[in-house]
Amino acid sequence: MAVKVAEEWLNACSGCEISIVDLGERLLAVLDLVEFVHIPVLLDHKYYGQLGEGKHINIPEATVGIISGSIRNHEHLEVAEEMRRKCQIIIALGTCATHGGIPALANSYRNQEILDRYYHTETTDKVDEYPSEGIPHLLDSVYALDEKIKVDIYLPGCAPHPDQVFAALAGLLAGELPKLPDRSVCDQCPTIREGKGQVKQLRRFLEAPQYGAPDEPIDKMRCLLEQGFLCMGSVTKAGCGGDKIVPRCIAARVPCRGCYGPVQHDGNQLLQMLNALASNGIDIHSLPDYVSLLRFSGAHKLLRPGHKQKEA
């Protein structure tokens, strides 16, 4: 019998759902094995009944609940709690769900500051009051899922690689709880590392790295950090390359920015990166800002109002 699955997106961009669609033909195989009972991007199941007359959010019971996105407003919270009540296993899909993701950069600001800018841009008409009618009120912060509900499986990634989405679904169908290994992007990076101590100052990514001919293999390119570019591979969970392993930024000869979140679930990418740089003898003041080191993992109270640029 098909396994019942419910899926929700909260403070999310739909990239995680696209990574499910990007399973390609594997998606058709998955659709044979699962029965979606709720998934707003594909299925017209409604919160308040199909005729819209209910009073409370209602999601059907399911074995597996997949949630992408962080929790930003009261409706997200209500939906997350309903998913938890109705699903036996909750998967946090994507780095927004596991660590806040990019939208948690908002945690550096109070809601008032966010609203003040958004409703006072150069193109926006003057208003006396900000919108509030029939729309969910913002929470004080952007929360990762596990700050509000219990999470059983973490599948970070921005976006998660379709290979891992498939492996996780296949694992669950076989009765296993999938988990990404606690390895770093550097552990899977094929570039050449020659040793510490040569780079003192970091350069911003304003020029191409050195790598020889255009078709020179990635494993002949020198480590981008050793070339003097900030690369967050050492403090970032491995997996972005999927089954092909080579990290996706590195494959494009672009440095890692940490999109799978910290290597250990409760790690702090900012502190770990500053430590890594300092222990390599690199002047951390050569970084133009520090907050960006938490750009994918600012939930769990790591980013707070007042954390604007260099105040770590």
Partner 1 sequence: MSRVINIAPITRIEGHASIAIKLDEKGNVADSKVHYQSLRGFEKFIEGKPAEEVPRIVNRICGICPWHHHMASNKAVDLCFGVTVPPAGRKLRELMQIISHGEDKILHFFFLAAPDFVMGPDADYGVRNVIGVAKAAPELATKAVQMRYKAKMILEKCSGKAIHPHAAVAGGFCKPLLEAERQEFLPQIRELLDFSLFTLGFAKAEVFPKYLDAVKVLGVINTGFIGTVDEQGALNVFGGNLRIMKPDGTFVEFDVQNYTDYIGEAVTPFSYGKYPYAKCWNEGFSLDIDNPKGIYRANCLARINVADKMATPHAQAELEEFRAAFGRPAQLTLLYHWARLIEDVYAYERAIELLEDPEITDTNVRAKVEPKAGRGVGCVEAPRGTLIHDYSTDDKGLITRANLIVGTTHNLGPIHMSVHQAARALIKDGEVNEGILNKIEMAVRAYDP
State in angstroms the smallest separation of the CB of 168 from partner 1: 17
Amino acid at 52: G
Cβ contact 99:297 at 8 Å: yes
Give the nearer residue to partner 1 in terms of CB position, either 18 or 192.
18
Q: Which residues pair with 67 in a beta bridge?
A: 8, 92
- Choice from 33, 40, 187, 275 touching partner 1 (CB under 8 A): 40
Number of residues engaging partner 1 in binding (CB under 8 A): 89
Q: Check residue 252 for interaction with partner 1 (CB under 8 A).
A: yes
State in angstroms the smallest separation of the CB of 102 from partner 1: 4
What CA–CA distance (Å, rounded) separates 293 from 274? 9
Q: Check residue 46 for interaction with partner 1 (CB under 8 A).
A: yes
Choose among 256, 263, 266, 265: nearest CA to 231: 256
Give, as ranges, the residues between 71 and 130 that touch partner 1 (CB under 8 A). 72-73, 75, 101-103, 105-106, 108-109, 113-115, 117-119, 121-125, 127, 129-130
Provide DSSP, 222-270.
B-TTTTTB---GGGSBS-TTGGG-S-HHHHTT-----TT--SSTT--HH
Give, as ranges, the residues between 123 and 162 that touch partner 1 (CB under 8 A). 123-125, 127, 129-136, 138, 158-159
Give, as ranges, the residues between 220 and 239 that touch partner 1 (CB under 8 A). none
State in angstroms the smallest separation of the CB of 204 from partner 1: 6
- Choice from 4, 6, 15, 232 touching partner 1 (CB under 8 A): 15
What CA–CA distance (Å, rounded) separates 35 from 2? 6
Cβ contact 205:254 at 8 Å: yes
Residues 6+ apart with CB under 8 A from 87: 6, 61, 62, 63, 64, 65
Give, as ranges, the residues between 163 and 202 that touch partner 1 (CB under 8 A). none
Q: Check residue 1 for interaction with partner 1 (CB under 8 A).
A: no
- Choice from 18, 177, 192, 278 touching partner 1 (CB under 8 A): 18
In our burial notation (b when 16+ CB lie closer than 10 A, e otherwise), range 238-257 reads: bbbbbeeebbbbbeebbbbb
Give the nearer residue to partner 1 in terms of CB position, either 134 or 175.
134
The owner of tokens 């089954």 is: 243
What CA–CA distance (Å, rounded) separates 283 from 116? 36
Structure tokens at 312: 């770590």
Stretch of residues binding partner 1 (CB under 8 A), selected from 17-25, 143-151, 177-185, 265-273: 17-25
Stretch of residues binding partner 1 (CB under 8 A), selected from 70-78, 170-178, 190-198, 264-272: 70-78
What CA–CA distance (Å, rounded) separates 35 from 33? 7
State in angstroms the smallest separation of the CB of 181 from partner 1: 21
Give the nearer residue to partner 1 in terms of CB position, either 1 or 252.
252
Stretch of residues binding partner 1 (CB under 8 A), selected from 52-60, 165-173, 192-200, 276-284: 52-60
